[in-house]
Structure 1
Amino acid sequence: MKKTISYTMISLLLVTSLAACGSNNESANTNANAATDTANADTTNNAAATNDATTDNAAATEGGDTKELNGKVVFLTNRTDMVDKEYTDYEKRFEAKYPGVDLQFEAITDYEKNEKIRIASGTYPDVVLLGGLIPNSDYPKYFAPLDDIKFSGDIYFKDFKSFEGKSYGISSGNSTVGIVYNKKAFEKAGVTAVPKTYDEFLAACQKLKDAGIVPLASNFKDKWPLGAWSGDVPTIIGGAADHQNKRKDTDTPFTMDNVYGKSWIIIRELKEKGFLEKDVNSTNWEQSKKDVAQGNFAMYLLGNWVINQVIDAGAPAEDVGFFPFPADNSGQAKAPLNPDWFYGVNKDGNVEAAKAFVQWMIEESGYDEFAGFIPTLKDKQPKLAQLAEFNTYNPTYFEAVAGDDAATQILNKAQIDQDAVLQEFVLSKNPQAVLDKVNAEWAKAKKQIVK
């Protein structure tokens, strides 16, 4: 479903005051924002007071009574970087509110693959993150409905992880995808204006390369950062977010002239022109954040969630910018609007305490601000100043749609790793052969799923 959001409407979603540009991302210290905060304080405080009165150290039961929350709650997380740091603070704060609960964090890498194995084996903890590899129809087998969590306001993507009228996932935060860039690197290379067309983008990349700066950090070897090229750039190119669902209707979902081929041709061209890392097979995610912060690399094509990580790696907040990726020469700014991972609750775990933790993460933890997210609560404005800059380009936003079970099942049956296919496409001397191979795998699986 296409959703065009005007500047006024999206300000509630994406924008802090333009005067906030240049402040550190934790707070936009302007009189305008202070006034806004003051105006909203009564509503926020009243909602918080109501929430505290009804949920503090208690959870609602079906009969309307309350019971004390106790026992252990384990959250399986992908944020290995927060272990012994922010998670330590979260544990202390949550347990202060719910003293009968022992909150623990378990961080793993290669999250979606390992989580899927654990869910299949029944060894997953109380709270997990839901990605896109589990069909919605399977959620009742493993997870508890979350419709009874009483948030203080409306939330984004409430029905995204639903089946038969019940919701099984709550978005941990939301984001758009574009070019995160180091303003000092642009200045050094003589790039005086943000590119608004693909040709202008290539010209900027050439100037950066000539100045001895790596234009775009792809993190090719790490693979997962390439997901934007399989999910978001196709949305930008096609002007719609349902392209992955439509694949169930064809035996050849990956072609040179459709949104996937056009997206992958772009990153292939960037590599061939020397606009990516010198050796894409030896990239390093953690090091890349430092390189972007220091201006050795100029840009990322990623979501706004990476901005705070670049700042934490040493970049002054005012030196980090964000603009829509110009995937064509139309001059029209376009961008996706996506949920991030969804919180899911193990139906056989400590369900009520786990639900309290999910609500606390959304309403009280501050994780959305730490992660640089667009908050899940619709009436909560983001604090990230770079989102305000992004919106000055008046992008048309295309809101993500829920996955189609048949398309997901075909992908799983074919065991297609889209990001791995993209890697092969970029490096192959015969990229058409790569598409032919993956299409054959898709068509074979489709025959078994779609009758």
Structure 2
Amino acid sequence: MKLKKLIAIGLATVLTFSLVGCGSKDSKKDTKETATKTESTKSSDDASASKLDYQKVVFGETGKDLSTTIKFFSHKTDLKENGTYDKLIAKFNETYPNIKVEVEATTTYADDALLRLTSDNWGDIMMIPAVDKNELSKYFMPYGTYDQLSTQYNYITNWMYKGDVYGMPSAANAQGIVYNKKVFTDAGITSIPKTPDEFIAALQAIKDKTKAIPLYTNYAAGWTLGAWDAYIGGSATGDADFQNRVLPYQKDPFADRKDGTGPYALYKILYDAVNKGLTEEDYTTTDWEGCKGMINKGEIGCMALGSWAVSQMQAAGDNGADIGYMSFPISVNGTQYATAGPDYCYGINAKSSDDNKLASELFVKFMVEQSGLAFSEGSLPIVKSDTKLPELFSAFQGVEFVVDTPAEEGKEDILNQVNTESELMINAGGNTKVAEIIEHAANKDESFDDIMADWNQKWSDAQDSVGVDVTK
């Protein structure tokens, strides 16, 4: 979504944020000092420029005498609040004692990060929000080309444009369902549900035989609803091409395939669960922080979240061993698939000083290659030489991981354009449409088929507007 369009839509949010982000008495001074520092530290020779080449930056060797302060804007409020970031920075400072890292994290990160990008003074590192790919170079420096980086790293195509990689994964998730194993056992569920019908039947059993909420929607948090979009590719279709090479061009992609697969079947699971009373009594009162302890204690049966959430649920109480992770309940010709891809990716400010760019590269290298944070968060391996899978994927036997194929060269912007014109924003912060599924299902004021027909119409109109050559 274009920043100008976001600001127009979210004016109230912008105003609220401006009071927080720009209210400092020293904001003008900071901007001036940053600009002065940028000019004074610009590279003037090839040797200095080579130090900024991510491939040539060697942790522990490059920049040993560097002294500067970098600012890191993150979505991980839990790591900020529980001291994890402080511990990691202390470890980083054992090698680079003169690089100070300041961390800020917010619970409304997706919106806040986009708003920060309207200012050149947002810091040095941020988790890249939902910007149009053709604007990446405006905000972020490239780490290198895909051909250079793909020999060492996995999951680096999400923020690739015209062969250049602008985002380094902070972690990589497989998309599935967080669940309480004891609740499922108490409900008499003896095998992992593999189809929508089996999953709804499991939720009904939990409601009938336990006191737990079968499926917790996390409606009130808003951003958590984005998990449902994340299943739309590999998990729902088994097709690595679907997200970037099929969806933008397909006629009526939300139509019923009649075989329990595809986007229709995916979102219908949510609609049916809410419509049948298999979720919390009042979706408006859900509590993101509170749900962690609830599922740990067995008060919730399951939640639709990426694998990143498992460690948080396990750490939220005394029953961490009860928390498991299952693949999403759709099978394609008898096989289950799980979309696998990066979580938020580290982006480095293209307008930072050369010193701060280099310090940021060193910190990103540390976080990705040295810190161990991704593995402890339940991540699939980012570095190709790492092959060990976290224990949480023990229930994924027989499940095939699917990584989305990048868009074809020259067509990188098509999905963004159709997404924006349709306002559905699949996998790009379109949580409102998922919220509306919950609302209509609970209120029983619109059928699921009518919702999908409306989405198909919006998608078709957007394709026409963009000039997409639609395939059947």
**TM bracket, shorter-chain basis:** 0.7 to 0.9
| Shift, 1:220, TM fit | 2.0
Residues 37-116 of structure 1: matches in 2 within 5 Å?
A: 54-56=58-60, 58-59=62-63, 68-84=65-81, 85-116=83-114
CA contact (8 A) 1:229 1:264 kept: yes
CA contact (8 A) 1:156 1:378 kept: yes
**1:9 counterpart residue number:** none
**1:235 counterpart residue number:** 234
**2:362 counterpart residue number:** 356
**2:133 counterpart residue number:** 136
Output one character per residue of 1:394-424: Cα deviation in whole Å (capped at 9) or x when no partner: 1122212336412113323444453211221
- Greater shift, 303-312 or 190-199, is seen at 190-199
Question: For 1:405, which of 404, 413, 417 is the aligned residue?
Answer: 413
CA, structure 1 residues 71+291, in 2 after alignment: closer, same or farther (shift >3 Å)? same
**2:325 counterpart residue number:** 322
| Shift, 1:369, TM fit | 2.5
**1:5 counterpart residue number:** none
Q: Aligned partners of 1:114 and 1:447: how far apart in 2? A: 32
**1:184 counterpart residue number:** 182
- The normalised TM-score by structure 1 is 0.78
**1:424 counterpart residue number:** 436
* 2:177 equivalent to 1:175: no
* 2:388 equivalent to 1:391: no
CA contact (8 A) 2:243 2:404 kept: no
CA contact (8 A) 2:183 2:212 kept: yes
| Shift, 1:102, TM fit | 1.3
| Shift, 1:434, TM fit | 4.0
Question: For 1:208, which of 186, 189, 206 is the aligned residue?
Answer: 206
Residues 287-298 of structure 1: matches in 2 within 5 Å?
A: 287-298=290-301
Residues 15-34 of structure 1: matches in 2 within 5 Å?
A: none
CA contact (8 A) 1:151 1:359 kept: no
% identity of equivalent residues: 27
Output one character per residue of 1:80-135: Cα deviation in whole Å (capped at 9) or x when no partner: 1122411111222222211221111011222222212221333321111124x223
Q: Aligned partners of 2:119 and 2:459: how far apart in 1? A: 26
Counting matched residue pairs gives: 391
Q: Secondary structure at the match of 1:386?
A: helix
State the one-letter code of the partner of 2:66: L
- Greater shift, 146-155 or 309-318, is seen at 146-155
Output one character per residue of 1:285-314: Cα deviation in whole Å (capped at 9) or x when no partner: 111111110001111222221111111101
- Greater shift, 215-224 or 292-301, is seen at 215-224
State the one-letter code of the partner of 1:75: F
| Shift, 1:334, TM fit | 2.0
RMSD, matched Cα = 3.0
- Greater shift, 362-371 or 321-330, is seen at 321-330
- The normalised TM-score by structure 2 is 0.75
Residues 234-313 of structure 1: matches in 2 within 5 Å?
A: 235-245=234-244, 246-249=246-249, 252-257=252-257, 259-313=262-316
Unmatched 5+ stretches in structure 2: 1-54
| Shift, 1:205, TM fit | 1.6
- With a CA cutoff of 8 Å and minimum separation of 6, indicate the structure with the bigger relative contact order: 1
| Shift, 1:54, TM fit | 4.4
CA, structure 1 residues 205+329, in 2 after alignment: closer, same or farther (shift >3 Å)? farther
